[in-house]
Amino acid sequence: MLREILINFVSRQQICRYLSTGSKLYKANDDPINKSTKIPRLPDAQFQTAHLIKEKGKIYDKKPFRMLCERGKVYMWCACGRSKTQPLCDGSHKYKQLGPPSPNKPVKFVPEEDGEVWFCNCKQTDNRPFCDGTHKRQDIQETVR
């Protein structure tokens, strides 16, 4: 409740002065506004372990996607197979309209040098986010026509 009030009444620059300390909301150089107000943390850990999730996503295509990647740029590979911007994530794994939220989270990839990368588009790879040839299996070839 307090967070919505702050967003509605405080200008954008003033909102930037609010800091998250621990799990409580504090105003910069001031006492806590409300000790019970919590701000959700961004779950960065999900991107560091998303490649370890055992459940495979929905089969999107039966061939990999070749992409020229830039050094240092962050790429978020779609692991659920629902994204409309394949092979990259568009947040579709969170949309309730597409069914229950997917346990598959995007896999973060930051190339160390410019070059060509083959991203898995069948979403069945054991080497996320890269193609490992799993798309050649008969069941995957028959699923996508």
Number of residues assigned to the chain: 145
What pLDDT is attached to residue 48?
A: 59
pLDDT tens digits for 22-56? 334 434 444 444 444 333 333 344 455 676 777 88
pLDDT value at 74 more than 80: yes
Kindly state the percentage of the chain with pLDDT values over 90. 32
What pLDDT is attached to residue 127?
A: 86
Model confidence, pTM: 0.62
Choice between 4 and 95, residue whose per-residue pLDDT is larger: 95
Token pair for 72: 């240092």
